[in-house]
Amino acid sequence: MKKVAFIVALAFAGLTLQACQGTGASEQKADEKQNKQTQVGEEPQSDQGKKDDGSKAAIQLNKETFKKKVVDYENSDTWDFQGDKPCVVDFYADWCAPCRITSPILEELAKEYKDQINVYKVDVDKHKELAAAFGVRGIPTFLYCPVEGKPTKSSGIAGSRSETKQMFRDNIKKYLLKE
């Protein structure tokens, strides 16, 4: 796989108040145990065994669909956005409590901004190579990709659901809609 210079240059922005670190088996088991004790009231997002019935506004991506809809990071040394409108890419895992908190928020925002942006999701446990290519070391991590210009990466969520939703709205306006 080609080393892509633009990945190193991605800017980090946003709050890192709550994030999961690592994706190893021991961390995953500890997080799963903690998640059972801490009810967040949200179902984990998984694309296993689910058909795309159109009910989800956020779209699951794998390596091939990422290269078609966001950027072909393997065959280019520059950032060449492939999408038709700006997007947010959510790098997540089912076992991550902050990821489960952000999932319904991103679904709401995907519906709210449906004519202006796309919201994509990448399961870091299923697509480790893709997560590694973009330097994802903690989750949730979000990649804000404008149609023109370089992407911006942020990780973690704010202290409450409403603050997290506002964080996303602010970042969408700042990085994607340029308001």
Q: Report the mean per-residue pLDDT for the chain.
A: 78
Q: CA 95 to CA 72: how far, in whole Å?
A: 28
More confident residue, 18 or 142: 142
CA 100 to mean position of chain CA atoms: 12
Q: Is the pLDDT of residue 78 over 90?
A: no
Whether pTM > 0.75 for this model: the answer is no
pLDDT reported for residue 64: 96
Looking at the DSSP assignment, which residues form a beta bridge with residue 118? Answer: 87
14 is a domain residue: yes
Q: What is the mean pLDDT of residues 69-74?
A: 93
CA-nearest of 64, 63, 65, 69 to 81 is: 69
Q: What is the mean pLDDT of residues 115-143?
A: 96
CA-nearest of 105, 88, 90, 95 to 160 is: 105
168 is a domain residue: yes
More confident residue, 63 or 45: 63
51 is a domain residue: no
pLDDT reported for residue 10: 35
171 is a domain residue: yes
35 is a domain residue: yes
CA 172 to mean position of chain CA atoms: 13
pLDDT reported for residue 104: 97
Q: Of residues 20, 87, 99, 145, which has the active-site annotation? A: 99
More confident residue, 47 or 112: 112
Q: Is the pLDDT of residue 151 over 90?
A: yes
Q: Of residues 20, 87, 96, 145, which has the active-site annotation? A: 96
Q: What is the mean pLDDT of residues 84-100?
A: 97
52 falls in which pLDDT band (50, 70, 90)?
very low
Using the structure block, give the residue that is written with the tokens 């998984």.
46
For the chain, the domain total comes to 1
State which residues form the domain around 34.
5-39+56-176
Q: What is the mean pLDDT of residues 79-104?
A: 96
pLDDT reported for residue 21: 58
Is-catalytic flag, 96? yes
How many helices and strands, by DSSP H and E, does the chain display?
Answer: 6, 8
98 is a domain residue: yes
Q: Provide CB contacts within 8 A for 58, sequence distance 6+.
A: 45, 90, 103, 106, 107, 110, 119, 120, 121
48 is a domain residue: no
Using the structure block, give the residue that is written with the tokens 């240059």.
9
β-strands 59-60, 118-123 pairing: parallel
The CATH code of the domain that includes 21 is 3.40.30.10
16 is a domain residue: yes
Q: Mapping DSSP to helix (H, G, I), strand (E, B) and coil, where does residue 59 land?
A: strand
